[in-house]
Structure 1
């Protein structure tokens, strides 16, 4: 935590449940004793002595931006802290809590903009890690969690009974599969691009699907079905349930009978509903958890008083009295001890494995791949990939003698596996004078992966072409002319209703002295860009000789992004990350 330390001993004892008047009497008596003993200075320094009516007049004021689901509990805790005269270094801590969607706060911080809050409490560490991974983002410093809530599948009672609740248990794949088999049992979720609940569940589904033969196809089918029943937020997805809790609106195709929700969201729904509520399935292969990380925002600009008060408040939230308060709002405060009352009111019951330990947090790679697959599954893609084939791609980059091209090909094949038969993918390569005076050549025209091509499909043809990529001996890097030609082609063949993009991978800078200049290239790209027909350019600088700054300058002229990888095996991850970012930008979610 650097220069900021925990509050002093007096501040640590600031949570006193006795009436305020009695506390003041005790404080005055203590001051008199200290004064008689000649200890007035010590009393003032410790915060026991107050020259005024209320310490709130000189309070340290904290603004907390929090996920909407945890706001009622935090506001109740903040009010209790005022009643308890919670102090930090002798000054009252005055906390104001504002509801802010986690994804929207993350977008603000990713843009490097300042926040009006000193503390951010998103619903998941997912958002904090996303912001922390971006060097251009506002700094965030997580200092731990004070609450959690597992993610499961909430079902209206009639449908839950048909699935054997509570005695029958399901894995994530089995639960999703049940909704695919039975059209009357419709599953809804919040958009994984905007909701940690949706993303964590999606990652569990894709991870489980990847472990079985044919799982990728099964996962794509589930995503396609689920995408038709997503809402922008966890709050909005609750509005898709039948209007009566029993789920009798079976004939209404717009209503869902099952939802991916956190335990706390179901608790809040059931306790506010007054009807039969929802039953909750806890998947037997483990539930991911929302963990509500308490996070300092732009810590370097916080005053010492603000930092110490922020730490004081989170420590206050972890005290037994505040844990009970959090339980009353449906949150868990311990992984080892589960409050049975919380589970029951959330629709849980034995033998559902509600006390099962939380699954290990998904890696950033797994989360990114799940979100990337979601993006290109729910909206079919048209992407042309352009790969540098200059001689520098033959440089060995692994201990077992693999070249940069070898590792690049393997990573591209991994990326190809995430696309569906409806996606359109093509491949070019480039060096200098590969096709007469042209620096580039079209190896596989951009077509649907499922379309027939000779004795196989477009996917088979691309797999062979990716595998056959070979560096050109003594070939230089004809980057500028190639980029312009490929972008012209991508714009002219724009497919309406699909996510269109151009991906260019290069391990160097332009080496063709007869090509267009960089300034002229950027100008031409801007002229070709059409907001109504967006084709973002994703330019990936591979290896130490590539120029990330130049890649960014060129790509941003189209609304795309410049990326950098030092290890070519990371290319497929970077492609997915860039697709997610570009897709979100195009849909207005970023």
Structure 2
């Protein structure tokens, strides 16, 4: 079959021949000697690539945790290695592959707990990057990729044809509009907090990559609509589809008609003898994000040289012809430049669907974290109090604009407000020095449900008016320490079970109240108040060049939160969302 050829169900057909950027190969063999702390010559001389060893010495045993979708294929590769007496440094390699959900391994490694494995193959880089971003995490080292699979929107035939499949193609934005226009297309997904498929698709579908306010609002709206139709993982979400084309299941509102799904998952579903309805797959024309199955060494400094080399030798087997054939039989792509028409057809693709169109670049980590932050507060509902610096320095102009720090901060807070639902509880404090008698702070809007009404005025409207009314206090200094303690005491005493609780503090300066408690005393009191069973992370954001990031980091970490720094107040909304992701991960870990 020719390059990119894809058979129609009733004959042969050619796919879109448009060029696309060349992506990295499935296994990056050139990293072998870079990852292991030995010279290349020593590796080759030591038998890393030896196939002729008699395996007289005991085997080197390696355990690999792999995403459940790729684990069966890697087990076959491991079995082949034993059958062929594949060696590394003259030792046979004996690899045990265990199927483990990627998010569970990421949570363990991110919290500093050993996963009991020497290597890890999650379904996406997003998990490895998330672990690497956490300060207490066990070291993870990406060494290559064993396979890939694009993410699209799979539909039961009736739903697909109602949208014009296969002739009509869609962008992610157009699919978003189609999925929210009415109830005819019931869209489900695996939980984006547990599934890279769900997370990457929601990031593209929500438009979070465009960096605009409308993109963030669309992501929040989609998350709200999607949340009742999610399942814990990619396997379970397939059980939400109708099982046949007749009867009540087709019209059952609890049954999904469309899913975020990888090509490989659709391939396996359509290949199953008890699949129920087959699936048709839409490949968005503005590019599909990819599951990329990074082969990752776990805690490399503690691995022996034999273990490191054996693990990497196993990785190279997946890139050799025998290993690639195994992966292809399981529905994975092993070469992004040579797309198997048979694989695509079995997965439910068909020309002119742009099955060979990949995203030009991987989704930015920032966009993925913002989407996950939006998802976290949408699904859990949130109880968040914002504490905003109103000292005189907030009247300073933001370089390159005609607006002050306070102007841009207010705009960022209003943007954030638009993404919360009526079930979220949001409040607002402001602080400077001696705003209310001897107190450095004032409660402008108590923390309540956005849908609550008092005197005919909804909480959302009160907050919007309070945000718009924020003004710097003339000659006001920064009463940071006393305010932080008082706000955190209030946040912990008002803890709401089942919600994401947090305190968001924004300041453009350092503590300027000589009569306040000391920083050491503040940190000590925050540690006493923080309760891991009822987490309320402090998300402290240093705004502008006068703030002290090290100070806000120290204060925030005492609560399990994080200190952030922004040079431009317009970045506040995205920083809050990313900080929510990390705070939520810490509370789960």
Band of TM-score, shorter chain:
0.7 to 0.9
| TM-score (norm: length of structure 1) | 0.81
**Match of 2:567?**
567
**Match of 1:388?**
389
**Match of 2:11?**
none
| Shift in Å, 1:277 | 2.3
Gaps of 5+ in 2: 1-33
Q: Distance in 2 between matches of 1:435 and 1:104?
A: 47
Contact in 2 for aligned 1:506/1:546 (Cα 8 Å): no
Gaps of 5+ in 1: 16-26, 28-47
Q: Distance in 2 between matches of 1:331 and 1:441?
A: 58
Contact in 1 for aligned 2:270/2:346 (Cα 8 Å): yes
| 1:197–1:551 distance in 2 versus 1, CA, 3 Å | same
Contact in 1 for aligned 2:527/2:558 (Cα 8 Å): no
Larger Rg: 1
Q: Distance in 2 between matches of 1:9 and 1:526?
A: 54
Contact in 1 for aligned 2:67/2:99 (Cα 8 Å): yes
Contact in 2 for aligned 1:158/1:246 (Cα 8 Å): no
Equivalent residue in structure 1 for 2:44, among 8, 12, 26: 8
| 1:419–1:209 distance in 2 versus 1, CA, 3 Å | farther
| Residues matched between the structures, number | 548
Moved more, 294-303 or 534-543: 534-543
Contact in 2 for aligned 1:64/1:118 (Cα 8 Å): yes
Alignment of 1:537-552 (within 5 A): 537-541=538-542, 543-544=547-548, 546-548=550-552, 550-552=554-556
Contact in 2 for aligned 1:184/1:250 (Cα 8 Å): no
**Match of 1:202?**
202
Q: Distance in 2 between matches of 1:232 and 1:83?
A: 37
Q: Does 1:131 align with 2:167?
A: no
| Shift in Å, 1:259 | 1.2
The alignment partner of 2:174 has SS state of: helix
Q: Distance in 1 between matches of 2:177 and 2:482?
A: 49
| Shift in Å, 1:159 | 2.7
| 1:567–1:208 distance in 2 versus 1, CA, 3 Å | closer
Alignment of 1:462-481 (within 5 A): 462=463, 465-466=466-467, 469-472=470-473, 475-481=476-482
Q: Distance in 2 between matches of 1:178 and 1:355?
A: 23
The alignment partner of 1:386 has SS state of: strand
The alignment partner of 1:141 has SS state of: strand
Alignment of 1:130-529 (within 5 A): 130-207=130-207, 216-244=216-244, 249-274=249-274, 276-390=277-391, 398=399, 408-409=409-410, 411-420=412-421, 423-446=424-447, 462=463, 465-466=466-467, 469-472=470-473, 475-490=476-491, 498-507=499-508, 510-516=511-517
**Match of 1:44?**
none
| 1:477–1:214 distance in 2 versus 1, CA, 3 Å | closer
Q: Distance in 2 between matches of 1:492 and 1:274?
A: 53
Q: Distance in 1 between matches of 2:385 and 2:235?
A: 38
Q: Distance in 1 between matches of 2:172 and 2:401?
A: 39
Q: Could you say which structure has the greater relative contact order, defined with CA pairs below 8 angstroms and 6 or more residues apart?
A: 2
| 1:438–1:115 distance in 2 versus 1, CA, 3 Å | same
| 1:59–1:277 distance in 2 versus 1, CA, 3 Å | same
| 1:269–1:417 distance in 2 versus 1, CA, 3 Å | same
Q: Distance in 1 between matches of 2:153 and 2:549?
A: 49
Q: Distance in 1 between matches of 2:387 and 2:400?
A: 27
Q: Distance in 2 between matches of 1:496 and 1:136?
A: 26
| Shift in Å, 1:415 | 3.5
| TM-score (norm: length of structure 2) | 0.82
Q: Distance in 1 between matches of 2:211 and 2:399?
A: 28
Q: Distance in 2 between matches of 1:380 and 1:480?
A: 28
**Match of 1:22?**
none
The alignment partner of 2:358 has SS state of: coil
Contact in 1 for aligned 2:478/2:510 (Cα 8 Å): yes
Contact in 2 for aligned 1:143/1:294 (Cα 8 Å): yes
| 1:5–1:332 distance in 2 versus 1, CA, 3 Å | farther
CA shift digits 1:311-345 (9 cap, x unpaired): 22222211122111210110001111101111122
Moved more, 408-417 or 142-151: 408-417
**Match of 2:112?**
112
Contact in 2 for aligned 1:434/1:441 (Cα 8 Å): yes
| 1:262–1:246 distance in 2 versus 1, CA, 3 Å | farther
Q: Distance in 2 between matches of 1:118 and 1:297?
A: 5
